[in-house]
A and B are shown apart, each in its own frame.
Chain A
Amino acid sequence: MTELSHVEKIKRESRHLRGTLVESLQEPITGSIREDDTVLIKFHGTYQQDDRDVREERRRQKLEPAYSFMIRTRLPGGVCTPQQWLQLDAIARRYGNGTLRVTTRQAFQFHGVVKTELKTTMQAINAALIDTIAACGDVNRNVLASANPVETRAHPVVADWAHKLSEHLLPRTRAYHEIWLDGEKVATTEESEPLYGETYLPRKFKTAIVVPPVNDVDVFAHDLGFIAIVENGELQGFNVTVGGGMGASHGDPETFPRLADVVGFIRPGQLLDVASSVLTTQRDFGNRAVRKRARLKYTIEDRGLAWFVAEVTRRQGFEFEPARPFAFTQQGDRFGWIEGYDGRWHLTLRIEAGRIADTERAKQLTGLRELAKVHRGDFRLTPNQNLTIANVDANSRAFVSALVVKYGLDRHERSTPVARDALACVALPTCGLAMAEAERYLPQLVRLVEERMAAHGLAGEPLVLRITGCPNGCARPYLAEVALVGKAPGRYNLFYGGDGRGGRLNALHLENVDEPTILSALDAAFGRYAQERTPGERFGDFAWRAGLVGGAAQAA
């Protein structure tokens, strides 16, 4: 067997993720932690970062980088109570950078927490009965579930499964409680990781549950997916999908985004067994030598889907039934008020790039705090960085709407479909892997794209636009109709061709281009699209038919 990656060594020697974190946190002369601990701390839900805007400046000042920590919560299905909201809001203002960041996996991120306040912050989060265990690291990540909670009777059931699944796949180590919550120490020998073993998974593992027809979770983008099959409002079971993933590396054909395969149908009661079987198969056969090739999608690519299904079947001890028919009408969220089957109402708000903050333009953080103080339902973070104010009774609607308008939270009312559906990953200044701007550039990008569209009479037409600062694909760009993937400051790869339902990968149109080039390319493409499109044809579909991507383009 080939040499293990360094990370594997660190995990093995970490005594179930303890490493030297305690010592690292106490080291007074640096705001950073020891290198090996930066790997382990991810399993605890936090990443060491530094403010890249001042990195060079501080080097000249003979100071170390401005280290801080990003903390990510585990929030299955993105559910959070008003009480919890108030606590998280307070934490963001007290210990974080004053913003709450809704992620593409229905979780919160706090940015800018300094080492000396990291433990206190972790405790404050846990005090809100929210943990951060396995929010990052080579384990099962936060479980996605269609955001809308009670549109049909099936939705709450699904949300509930998301919760069970997340708990089922949690690591069992007590390290987290020891290090952050002063839980009493347990000998690692008494402690076991039945599911994960000593070295956990070869790589991160992602699970999502979706209730058609809205593919808000982009179910084909995840290692493991469950497509709820609902017949006249009742949950029958799930179609299982495996081997999805977005991440790739520039110029490395060995890495690529991949759509998950549908392998069959299961009953609700079988969900947990399927999950552990898929997870352990990946645990035992995933590539532990080359991290870039360690995701489940590559295990399946390398060994073949048939082999994989056989192995999983063997482990779970039952066959998959033939997959049931299903259909997706769209990806992204549905905004505005929607009535649930039980007569309660749900308001989905547009949060640009998931960043909830108080700015000159709007005091959204304050607004949502005010709302949380009076809201009697709950909140749902969507898989598209947006927010649903859930379970509002009919007679509170007017009041909620008023608050929403007062604090400028009504962008979903005022923006074009492009603006509403756009996604941007965090990127600069916090993301250590960013090669170009994303979140901070999104508003300008959207405006420019809107202009180009308007110029060709396409204003108000739907278009799924996504941008990431690097090819890792945190905003699932390869499923967008138009995507920018960062290559260098101000330069991106331009992709066309998602189907608007999360069912097709886009393809490279232009490589390593700057804003003007991107705009003129879009201008030309929109021009032709406006002229040549067939009735109801989406831009993503047109791009292939017109040969802007695919065979013709590649040849060109």
Chain B
Amino acid sequence: MSATTVAAFPLGPLDPERSELLLRVVEGLEPSTLQWLAGFAAGVAHERAANRGGLPATAPVPAARPEAAARLTIVYGSQTGNGKRIAERLGRAAETAGIAARVYSSVNYPLKDLPKERLLVVVVSTQGDGDPPDDARGFLEFLASRRAPRLDQLSYSVLALGDSSYPKFCETGKQVDERLATLGAKRLLDRVDCDVDYDTLATPWLDRVVTTARDNLGAVPQVATVTRLRAAPAAPLYSREQPFAAEVLANQRITARGATKDVRHVELALEGSGLTYTPGDALGVWHENPAPVVADVLEALRLDGAQDVEIDGQAKPLRAWLTASRELTRLTRPFLVQQAERSQDPALAAVLQPGHEQELRRTLKDLQVVDVLQRHRGEWDAKSFVQALRPLAPRLYSIASSPEAVGDEVHVTVAVVEYEHERQRRLGAASAYLAGLTGEAARARVFIEHNERFRLPADTARDVIMIGPGTGVAPFRGFVQHREAQGATGRNWLFFGARHFQSEFLYQAEWQEAVRKGVLSRLDVAFSRDRSTPRTYVQDRLRAAGKDVYAWLEGGAYLYVCGDAEQMAPDVQGALVDIVAEHGAKNRDAAEAYVRALADERRDLRDVY
């Protein structure tokens, strides 16, 4: 957001001219930078006051305080933007409360400041299988390393973001919390572990941080003059919390007869929403659980969906709760615990015992709520059941279009999750919901999830290598549209993979056209289930083209990987190392270093899920 949206002249005490100057300074700055600026201004105010000795004798002697003292530092590690959002909210709240606060993404945080910090808040999510988000890797490595300083002067609090359907729930948050403690820091507040419905816990936590921080630091009045400026950048009209009801312009199956998957190309109208996006961003979708999913659960419970259920003063029919307000397809450990009690089924209880992490992992990964209800029967009353479930969380879909090409539309590519479980049809909630959004009146409640870590090179002369099997190809459709619109001079090389050439070559006709026009300089495809061609995956194609891949990288090419996090991403990573080792005549370590360097230079970017 740009600061030109700031309040009218004159700015607070400033004369028009200085206001203007200030505006130019803050023009286009990231919120975190703005907040730093504010903190800086606050700091300056202090020193001047101190030097003039104009402060009441009773007041604490400013010079005596370490420079960073009066300041709350907020560091976030965030993959899909939730943590970032919370951190920035906290930053705003703190400032409004008159606390000097600076907000950093953990990649940008100057680690040398750590020993000087007095008050640190860390908001961090967990990714992969208990891994830190990409931007927090360095931060965690530093904390874990022997170089990490003693932090006896530090009070801190950790907000961990996670998803209890993963066995290593909020792992990264836990690690940060424990490591800071071992380094001698004191907990200002105990760590809070948020599930995907993070607002329910994050909001109260946020308030408590602000109040305790105020007590701890004491408000710094001067900052108030700056708050107006900071309060200014208006949050967009529509957001995750207030999604935009976008009209569904097209919902087209793009896999053919005989395909193993139903993949949809969905086009939505953002017209009038004020929502904007850049290729690389994701679209957030608030779905409803499809009717059959709800029906199966009700049947397994032998409960009447029509009965009213009241929770925190909100009363609506059970069916409504299950359709629009709760997760039915993703299991959580807490739910399993309750089901174990209600079913008194030792089999289920066993899974929850220490030492059975593998089974737990598999249960959470492979089963839905209904599966557990059927397998380990237990009595539920409507209210406790709804309370045992976690609130519905939106799903993200890589945006498959460029505004340059499609105007105020946004396109996504959705693989419909549909499979057999013990001869019963099971659906993925959001993907099946989206697949069902057809016809005139169809609308989807959406928001934009910006992803600064997955961007085309600003320098359009750079070459780009895109690796996106399956729906992982989605963002690259947007990339290629964008590069064409930009008239980018750099070359574009796409690696795509699927099971079947005939039926699952997503956007085949568009890619062929791009190749014909020369927009795609190269297109390598791998199909893994075609009788006529040996099983090949993108990493095999990558290896086969290793010589050229290495040459492109040497020439400064950017490399992008999108799609499956479990199998594909690591395999591609491995292939890259092999390629660098072979064609760069490097030993294993050197090759790995080379690939790591790519990531550090932000030339090896990933968006995997």
Contacts and interface: CB of A to CB of B under 8 A. Distances in A.
B265 interface: yes
Interface stretch (B128-136, B348-356, B422-430, B500-508): B500-508
Interface stretch (B63-71, B252-260, B300-308): B252-260
A54 B256 contact: yes
Interface in B490-521: 501-503, 505-512, 515
Given A29-B525, A31-B501, A116-B530, A64 B256 contact: no
B533 interface: yes
Interface string A22-36: 000000111100000
Nearest to B508: A63
Contact of A117 (B252, B505, B532): B532
A66 B256 CA distance: 9
A63 B254 contact: yes
Interface in A62-109: 62-64, 66
Contacts of A29: 508, 511-512, 515, 523, 525
The winner among B252, B255, B257, B532 for most chain A CB atoms within 10 A is B532
Contacts of A63: 254, 256, 503, 505, 508-509
Given A29-B508, A29-B512, A61 B523 contact: no
Contact of A61 (B256, B525, B531, B532): B256
A239 B257 CA distance: 54
Contact of B533 (A54, A58, A64, A116): A116
The winner among A28, A59, A62 for most chain B CB atoms within 10 A is A62
Interface in A99-141: 114, 116-117, 120
Given A116-B532, A116-B533, A64 B254 contact: no
Chain A: number of interface residues, binned into ranges: 10 to 19
A322 B523 CA distance: 66
B508 A60 contact: no
Contacts, number: 50
Contacts of A28: 524-525
Main secondary structure of the interface of A (DSSP, over half): loop
A117 B531 CA distance: 9
A419 B509 CA distance: 44
A61 B508 CA distance: 9
Chain B: number of interface residues, binned into ranges: 20 to 34
Contacts of A58: 256
Given A54-B256, A114-B532, A62 B502 contact: no
B480 to A, nearest CB: 14
B254 A61 contact: yes
Given A29-B512, A29-B515, A31-B501, A62 B254 contact: yes
A114 B258 CA distance: 15
B526 to A, nearest CB: 9
B501 A61 contact: no
Contacts of B523: 29
Nearest to B524: A28
B252 A61 contact: yes
Contacts of B256: 54, 57-58, 61, 63, 66
Nearest to A63: B508
Interface string B47-89: 0000000000000000000000000000000000000000000
Contacts of A62: 252, 254, 265, 506-510
Interface in A168-199: none
Interface in B141-186: none
The winner among B505, B511, B515 for most chain A CB atoms within 10 A is B505
Contacts of B510: 62
The winner among B253, B502, B530 for most chain A CB atoms within 10 A is B502
The winner among A29, A57, A58, A59 for most chain B CB atoms within 10 A is A29
7 contacts: A29-B525, A61-B254, A61-B256, A62-B265, A62-B506, A62-B510, A63-B508
Given A62-B507, A117-B532, 15 more contacts: A28-B525, A30-B512, A54-B256, A60-B252, A61-B255, A61-B256, A62-B265, A62-B509, A63-B256, A63-B508, A63-B509, A64-B508, A64-B512, A116-B530, A116-B533
6 pairs of A and B residues whose beta carbons are closest in the complex? A116-B532, A117-B532, A62-B509, A61-B254, A63-B508, A62-B507
Interface of B: 252-257, 265, 501-503, 505-512, 515, 523-525, 530-533
